[in-house]
Amino acid sequence: NAGVTQTPKFQVLKTGQSMTLQCAQDMNHNSMYWYRQDPGMGLRLIYYSASEGTTDKGEVPNGYNVSRLNKREFSLRLESAAPSQTSVYFCASTDYNEQFFGPGTRLTVL
Amino acid sequence: DAKTTQPPSMDCAEGRAANLPCNHSTISGNEYVYWYRQIHSQGPQYIIHGLKNNETNEMASLIITEDRKSSTLILPHATLRDTAVYYCIVRVGGGSQGNLIFGKGTKLSVKP
């Protein structure tokens, strides 16, 4: 039981490049989330998916797109990366009360 | 914005109880109090949650005042591994209802 896994762990992009952050969970959870965390700050919700086939915007969705590929996988895409998107990205899933977080992806946009 | 207020930092001696306060004066009747912690740069970890009764599990105890406007997380015997940022969050319980809104939390430093 791996819980929530994220790939890659680290990534450096140039401004304007695109990339997809991958997230998978093996706990059969319906709801999944993407957060970002800037230095010294708490996490902020980007997008979430209450169930397979549905996605909704969170607090800071601009510049991102998501895909809930199936019940296990929830990906986050940056179409044209900007330096303001330099952050640590966390994926999470929930079993009704407790959210389980992945280890994070550290993204730097130059 | 976060609906909670926490002190930015606290120190605790190893082996002693760590009492972390949280104010949530605008909490609604159907909102729960959740506590998470984040060790170094890892993903946050769930600790405990409650509605109005005090709660205890293997990690901590949660004391909620009768008027529900504040709460205290208690780590009964703090260890060096409890050094982390602790987040107090209020949200409607259950699934995707009321996603977690993180403030800046309290940085707890457990010292030898």
Query: C-alpha distances in angstroms, A110 versus A6, A13, A91?
Result: 22, 6, 23
Kindly determine whether residue A31 and residue B96, on different chains, have CB atoms separated by under 8 Å: yes
Report the largest interatomic distance among the alpha carbons of chain A, rounded to a whole angstrom. 38
pLDDT, tens digit (0-9, with 9 covering 90-100), for A29-75: 999 999 999 988 889 999 999 888 899 999 899 999 999 989 999 99
* Mean pLDDT over the full length of chain B: 91
Chain A residue with Cα closest to B102: A42
Q: Does A58 touch chain B if contact means CB atoms closer than 8 Å?
A: yes
Length of chain A in residues, anyone?
A: 110
Confidence class for position B93, pLDDT limits 50, 70, 90? low
Cα dihedral sign for B45, B36, A62, A95? Answer: positive
Nearest to B104 among A42, A94, A106 (CB): A42
Residues 10-29 of A with CB under 8 A from B: none
A85 DSSP assignment:
G
User: DSSP 3-state assignment of B49?
Assistant: strand
Task: Examine the pLDDT at A95 and tell me if it is beyond 80.
Answer: no
> A4 with A24: CB under 8 angstroms?
yes
CB neighbours of B3 closer than 8 A, spacing ≥ 6? B24, B26, B27, B90, B101
Nearest CA to A98 out of B14, B35, B52, B12 is that of B35
Tokens of A32: 């999944």
Task: Examine the pLDDT at B28 and tell me if it is beyond 70.
Answer: yes
Strands (E), B3-112: 9-13, 18-23, 31-38, 45-50, 55-56, 61-64, 70-75, 84-92, 106-111
Q: How far is A27 from chain B (nearest CA, A)?
A: 14
Chain B residue with Cα closest to A6: B43
pLDDT, tens digit (0-9, with 9 covering 90-100), for B79-91: 999 999 999 998 8
Nearest CA to B86 out of B39, B49, B52, B51 is that of B39
